[in-house]
Structure 1
């Protein structure tokens, strides 16, 4: 029996972990959570834009004592208010989006599921009134995100169970379908609402506070250089065998990334400088440090090497992928060169992104650079992503550093790869 090479063993390992990850990411619950979070991204991004306006117009941000754009100063508190009503209420918006997607997967009414989801979430998290008689909405922020996920999945499951077991009020066939569905939902609504209200009000159990106190050590400990490097390694490993690592793995960390970016945004609005914000991996899954380091080290050097190559195929491919690559759209390189299952390029592809992420984390953990407090679209070029998301132009250091690291790691492997192409051309001509 022929002994497997190191590359074969490496590929076998990647395929072995990709199958369970793919199945897990495609379960109804996980797919619905990720899709629901993705659906509320426009709301969060707009809130982030207005937080940037607040930073530009506030003399309290930074050490100069002067606003960068003084004409924005009269509206800074209004900018904060809009940010609080969007990014600061992400869990409330998710309580509509997640049940909608979960209902689609379960093949029940999306309209009923969405209304049921938001009402159940409010009943489960709002415990009373403040001193002025207003509803307490602390749990509508990212701190209530896990409660939102729980109530979304449970409420839709109750709706699905009641319909399957005919635990509904059936109306005559002459009744319009919309009216019939409204009455059919009465019992599932009653069960879901009563359960949520009993836990929160009768038992006086604050699930959000309880869960946050339990998860705080885990969540805080997850924001580390080892988490960043491990995620980069696994994401690139999946890409290297042709699987979409971002969708399969990185997107699963979006709830943590959104919680962290909300914490940074809140700290910033309270006067904490951007370089002293608590969470370094804020925005992970959508934006943030990994977007600055992974593709600028794992793909940009390859595009550069292709562009300057004397090989006609490589040069043409380099210029073709240059435009998309600037916006970190990497599929043309991963599948066009290809990197996927390429014995010459797989190792430097994974190694460069992992190393660059680790060094980027160390840089961002120092007071030298600001941390992410705004959610910026993932396809924003990294040299703009950092300044827009952190308010600090010095974050350009990270993609520049990542590019250099990637270039150094790739060079010896690239020479072997180009030589293999030349040898192949000679053999074909013979």
Structure 2
């Protein structure tokens, strides 16, 4: 074998980065991700009211022996008395998540397709309501508008917008004279795409009804194995590994992975919230920010703290001052690119393995009932130790986070010291070189 032959690592890295970026920027995938981002405020508001309506306290297990327990019991009594009022915002936010998803996805895709985003969102919403809303005993049933209908909302949001684009490209639309104001012309331009979409999806839904099902129920049945698989440790480990692996190549791993994961974890989160609202136990482990809080949002702040205490090189001491505050609020780019972790063989092993160890421990702790499951969506900039509590309403989740943080900190120490010594030697050599240049120039 010719020893001069070698693997072109830069070429492999560039090709891999190009592929991942194309996947992340693919218009349908990015529209799904952006659509759910638009729905996040609704999930946060709904989660707040669900907390108010379902206090994390069991009156049969505590007595009013101190002020804190008295507060919890009073909160519980107040919540029971006002359940109907408190649950209304929850039912109209997280309970209708499919509506917000179909609006957001269609709106985002329409902008990429050079369509009117408002018209597209309205059209997709109408189609979604037509195929999802059912009647029972004269009452409207909204079950398909929540967690059950999330994936049908994705499909309808994408397909109705693409159909509208196809009709526009083929000039199949009502065009009024240019003298007509755009505000007046826009509703007429919507008529044919809306009519085609409604007729198409109603026809499909009608055929499915002959078999006793509907579009939302059929999609939910097809997707159910994926949701079940998402609860496995292997699936969680795979996505944890993939995100860190992509980051090592300088690709925004969380963004790429979230393009696929967001519908899954949001569906699981909504399902867990619905169980809590019904007085039942949630079932999905892989929900909300589980993988983030116990993964990168634990590992990277521990890394920054280790740098703060043990680093001696000018580079790392300067970097940690810039990265400390952002990392507390889950903004990790300064540390990822500043240390750097990207393409750094000295840190790649702990960078990939630590979050995998973390989520494994958190998975088994959740499975054993030691900590609660995520059912609340907190803002992503919430410090992770607080987010662990807010997401589960279980103080033990924050304790687990703290224990994992200490573990991560200890694992990082030898790697940080080794990398710091390399930088110190490099800085020393640079100083000697600069001094030599100064002497020669004199």
Q: What TM-score does the superposition give when structure 2 sets the normalisation length?
A: 0.88
RMSD of aligned Cα (Å): 2.3
Take 1:76 and 1:58, find their aligned partners in 2: how far apart are those partners? 15
Take 2:269 and 2:302, find their aligned partners in 1: how far apart are those partners? 29
**In structure 2, which of residues 383, 386, 389 is the aligned counterpart of residue 384 of structure 1?**
386
Q: CA deviation at 1:302?
A: 2.0
1:277-334: CA deviations, max 9, x gaps? 2011111xxx22432332312x123211221133344233223322111112111111
Is structure 2 residue 357 aligned with structure 1 residue 352? no
Aligned to 1:371: 373
Secondary structure at the aligned position of 1:129 is classed as strand
Aligned to 1:68: 72
Take 1:414 and 1:58, find their aligned partners in 2: how far apart are those partners? 43
Aligned to 1:396: 398
Secondary structure at the aligned position of 1:257 is classed as helix
Secondary structure at the aligned position of 2:295 is classed as helix
Q: Which moved more, 1:387-396 or 1:77-86?
A: 77-86
Aligned to 2:305: 304
Contact 1:14-1:237 within 8 A present in 2 as well: no
* Rg larger in structure: 2
Aligned to 2:39: 40
Aligned to 2:135: 129
Aligned to 1:97: 104
Gaps of 5+ in 1: none
Q: CA deviation at 1:134?
A: 2.2
Secondary structure at the aligned position of 1:279 is classed as coil
Aligned to 2:95: 88
Take 2:205 and 2:123, find their aligned partners in 1: how far apart are those partners? 17
**In structure 2, which of residues 196, 201, 205 is the aligned counterpart of residue 200 of structure 1?**
205
**In structure 1, which of residues 226, 230, 244 is the aligned counterpart of residue 252 of structure 2?**
244
Q: 1:4 to 1:392 in 2, by over 3 A?
A: farther
Q: Map of 1:271-282 to 2, 5 A cutoff?
A: 271-272=279-280, 276-282=281-287
Is structure 2 residue 172 aligned with structure 1 residue 167? yes
Take 2:93 and 2:267, find their aligned partners in 1: how far apart are those partners? 13
1:84-122: CA deviations, max 9, x gaps? 110010001222111111110000111210110100111
Count of aligned positions:
417
Contact 2:245-2:253 within 8 A present in 1 as well: yes
Contact 1:88-1:142 within 8 A present in 2 as well: yes
Contact 1:352-1:405 within 8 A present in 2 as well: no
Aligned to 2:53: 54
Take 1:75 and 1:313, find their aligned partners in 2: how far apart are those partners? 56
Q: What TM-score does the superposition give when structure 1 sets the normalisation length?
A: 0.90
**In structure 1, which of residues 131, 148, 171 is the aligned counterpart of residue 153 of structure 2?**
148
Q: 1:168 to 1:313 in 2, by over 3 A?
A: closer
Q: Which moved more, 1:197-206 or 1:227-236?
A: 197-206
Contact 1:294-1:354 within 8 A present in 2 as well: no
Take 2:366 and 2:18, find their aligned partners in 1: how far apart are those partners? 34
Take 2:306 and 2:342, find their aligned partners in 1: how far apart are those partners? 17
Take 1:266 and 1:70, find their aligned partners in 2: how far apart are those partners? 24
Q: CA deviation at 1:417?
A: 0.8
Contact 1:124-1:199 within 8 A present in 2 as well: no
Q: CA deviation at 1:247?
A: 0.8
Contact 2:208-2:215 within 8 A present in 1 as well: no
Take 1:350 and 1:401, find their aligned partners in 2: how far apart are those partners? 19
Take 1:141 and 1:249, find their aligned partners in 2: how far apart are those partners? 23
Contact 1:293-1:402 within 8 A present in 2 as well: no
